[in-house]
Structure 1
Amino acid sequence: MKTKTLITALGLFVAALAPAAMAENGVTATEIKIGMANALTGPTSGLGLGVKSGSEAYFKKVNAAGGVNGRKITLVSEDDGYDPPRTAAATEKLIKKDNVFALFGYVGTPTSKAALSMAVDNNVPFFAPFTGAEFLRAPVNKQIFNIRSSYFNEIEMQVERLVSDAGVTKFGLFYQEDTYGKVGKEGLQLALQKRKTSIAAEGHYMRNTEDVDAGLAALLAVKPEAVLMVGTYKACAALVQKAHAAGYKPKFFNLSFVGTANFIKAAGEAAEGVYITQVVPSPFDDSIPIVKQYQADMKAAGVHEFDYTSFEGYIDAAALVEGLKKAGPELTRAGFLAALEKMNVNLGGLDIAFGPQDHQGLNKVYLTKVHKGKPVSVSKL
């Protein structure tokens, strides 16, 4: 009799444990844990803080309305200082200690690369990194989903406008000496090869520094008509300021990753006339429904300054939530990834779609020019 009672009790104990054992990492009946590692301190902190503030504003609204299928989103954030070894350590913590459901909102190419193998090896979704690097797009990886357009797309537009609108034939490149800079250099080489030309001069600098003197000297030796910059806001601002001081004023172009508001603030008057390609619509154009929503939700979160970086974080969060909704109440990583591959949604006037062979949600590139201290949309140079 005692044996039978013991077996029954043991069976009930195992049954009670079964739901917990079968539960997906980072998911409970009331919570979904999302992990984020990016630069919250250091010379690139404006980007990490921007992405975080925009995404938090959206998550706050979703949670206030009851969450996703009854589960509220908890964002577990780590500071990596835009330093790949710190990114790797933070990612390991997020996956193995914090047990997050997915990784989200990483900022940077070298930092994303440092996190990627851990995400893939542990079957953790890697969603909406703030980088246009090609290795996150081709070949398609089942774990990786990008929202923003690629750097290759941005650079192709820059070169097309410079050639078609301004007749530029001599192109210069200023880049960060790491994976990010090399991806940008490859994109420029491809765009110029299509037009049977090549880079006329190039200079570089080291990540997390503003030591641009050697890079500027290399450009001044040739003085190309246009300089494409593949760097972060402080270094690019320093280059433009020092170039102007030396009497060199080519057509300067920045990629979206520079962080438009941060660049304009850092460069001051030297920012005037600099072109920046963007991968999301203007955060100031409230005729677009999602922009109006973004502005209202940022204000509700206590943020009254709008910029491209926080707006991109907001869009990324909105897309993530749509994917979670479509995965259904029985949330698993496999179900989430499968739902994303079928996702085609309109987020307040912005169409985001994925497919089995296309894990990039947006493809459009927008051109802006700094005018009177603000980024203004332009169609031609």
Structure 2
Amino acid sequence: MQKLRLAALALVCCSLGWAGSAVAEDGVSASAIKIGMANATSGPAAGLGLQLRAGAKAYLDKINAGGGVNGRAVALVSVDDAYDPLQSAAATRALIDTDKVFALFGYVGTPTSTAAVPIAAKAGVPYLFPFSGAEFLRNPVIPVVFNFRASYFDETEALVAHLTGALGVKKIALFIQDDEFGEAGKAGVVRALSKRRLSVALEARYSRNTIDIEAGLARLKSQAPEAVIFIGTYRPLASLVKKAGQAGVKARFLTVSFVGSSEFIKHAGDAGNGVVISQVMPSPDDGADPLVKLYHADVLPAARNYGSLEGYANAMILVEALRRCGREPTRAGLLRALEQLQMNAGGMPVAFSAQRHQGSDRVYLTQVKGGRVTPVDKL
């Protein structure tokens, strides 16, 4: 009788898809954990996605060469969304439904995240460390979304403080990408100016994935602001500063980290000199910084830039969270581990909680000088 009962139990277990152990989560096998990444590796924002992926891959390659995480390799499944929300949504569905990834990681952009996050949230799939400072990814807290980088509120506060404090500038214009990213940056600038009883002097816009900045440039020329805070990608900003110089516009230009410093410098040439860029990572050239020192050991000089450094740090945090999930990782366990995570990413403090899914609020002000990015406090 006892043997019959055990046999019946075994049949029930098999019918439920398990026999003596829990059913594995999607993306988890005996040898690997699959992580999905959809971002721009083609099109006018390709430099951002390629850099972020290169840095993450460098760190994951090192971890996998050393045996992986709790005996499993971390396998990065990378697809291109060309910085297009529709493509990002389709790629996200494919990564979840077809590739069966354990988590999503390293997306690039606010409009793309706007399209992808609802899909991830509905499926209960962690959406980790997007290359965006948008406030909707932070407040209110979305259970599956975790951000490492400082927010656009943090970055624009630093830019406005620099302009109004150290430089005494008050007539500040906005030149923004006409979408969710532009609106996210605008909200930060307006907030920072309001704290100082100031308002935006004028606003100009351009369409995403274009370099059509002519109409906005005409407004800058006619109204002569003292400074322009640009919220967009590297190619339109490069075009803007070139043509602004030719048109005799004397305004200072400032932008947030999403622009991609190295790609901006490559496209802007000498016209980029003087542009102030807020960063959320230390300088990738600063070998004295503990995080950067680790990064230099794994990333060749030609691939060193702010984007790949951020990808490298993101992967470091991901690996530590996966380690804390133990030998039978689950998505719920990963989210719990992240909410309890306090660590140093190569000396850079990272802290999450149930109430705060942003790990760092550090901002570093830099300025382009002689084709290189230099910390403002060292100019």
Q: Is 1:203 matched up with 2:204?
A: yes
Task: Rate the CA distance shift 1:197–1:15 in 2: closer, same or farther, 3 A.
Answer: same
What SS does the corresponding residue of 1:22 show, helix, strand or coil?
Answer: coil
1:242-300 deviations in Å (ceiling 9; x for gaps): 0001011311101000000000111001001110000011111111122111112113x
Structure 1 unaligned residues grouped into runs of 5+:
none
For 1:35 and 1:105, the matched residues in 2 are separated by 8
Segment of structure 1 superposing worse, 187-196 or 311-320: 187-196
Which letter maps to 2:108? V
Shift of 1:326: 1.2
Alignment of 1:144-223 (within 5 A): 144-223=145-224
What residue is the counterpart of 1:79 in the other structure? 80
Distance 2:371 2:147 in 1: 30
Distance in 2, matches of 1:141 and 1:72, equals 28
SS in 1 for 2:309: helix
After superposition, give the CA deviation of every residue in 1:224-255 in whole Å (9 maximum; x if it has no partner): 10000000000011011100010113111010
Once the two structures are superposed, residues 327-369 of structure 1 have per-residue CA deviations (whole angstroms, 9 ceiling, x without a partner) of 1112001111001111111122111111111111111100001
Alpha carbons of 1:9 and 1:336: their partners in 2 closer, same or farther (altered >3 Å)? closer
Cα offsets for 1:162-204 (capped at 9, x unmatched): 0111110100111000000011111111111111111111111
User: Aligned AA for 1:103?
Assistant: L
Q: Tell me the residue number matched to 1:314.
A: 312
| Matched AA of 2:359 | G
**Contact in 2 for aligned 1:165/1:380 (Cα 8 Å):** no
Q: Are the equivalent residues in 1 in contact too, given 2:224–2:250 (CA < 8 A)?
A: no
More displaced stretch, 8-17 vs 154-163:
8-17
Normalised by the size of structure 1, how large is the TM-score?
0.95
**Which whole-Å CA distance do the structure 1 matches of 2:329 and 2:76 have between them?**
17
TM-score (norm 2): 0.95
Match of 1:334 in 2: 332
Name the CA distance, whole Å, in 2 between partners of 1:323 and 1:10.
Answer: 34
SS in 1 for 2:302: coil
Confirm or deny: 8 A CA contact 2:282 2:364 kept in the other structure: yes
Structure 2 runs not aligned, ≥5 long: none
CA displacement 1:59-101 (0-9 Å, x = unmatched): 0000000000001011011100000000000000000000100
Instruction: Determine helix, strand or coil for the equivalent of 1:304.
Output: helix
Given that 2:31 and 2:73 are in contact with CA atoms closer than 8 Å, whether structure 1 keeps it comes out as yes
Distance in 2 separating the partners of 1:169 and 1:39: 36
CA contact (8 A) 2:56 2:313 kept: yes
Does the residue aligned with 2:278 lie in a helix, a strand or coil?
strand
**1:27/1:101 contact within 8 Å kept:** yes
For the residues of structure 2 that align with 1:177 and 1:13, how far apart are their CA atoms? Answer: 55
2:220–2:249 Cα contact (<8 Å) kept:
no
Residue matched to 1:292: 293
Q: Which residue number corresponds to residue 63 of structure 2?
A: 62
The one-letter code of the counterpart of 1:111 is T
Cα RMSD of the aligned pairs, angstroms, is: 2.0
2:343 is equivalent to residue 345 of structure 1:
yes
State the one-letter code of the partner of 1:351: P
For the residue of structure 1 that corresponds to 2:58, the secondary structure is helix
CA contact (8 A) 1:33 1:76 kept: yes
For 2:192 and 2:351, locate their aligned partners in 1 and report how far apart those are by CA, in whole Å.
Answer: 26
Whole-Å separation in 1 of the counterparts to 2:269 and 2:117: 36
Following the alignment from structure 1 to structure 2, what is the Cα–Cα distance between the partners of residues 16 and 355?
A: 35
Aligned length in residues: 377
The answer as to whether partners of 1:345 and 1:351 remain within 8 angstroms in 2 is yes
Q: Does the 8 A contact of 2:38 with 2:81 survive in 1?
A: yes
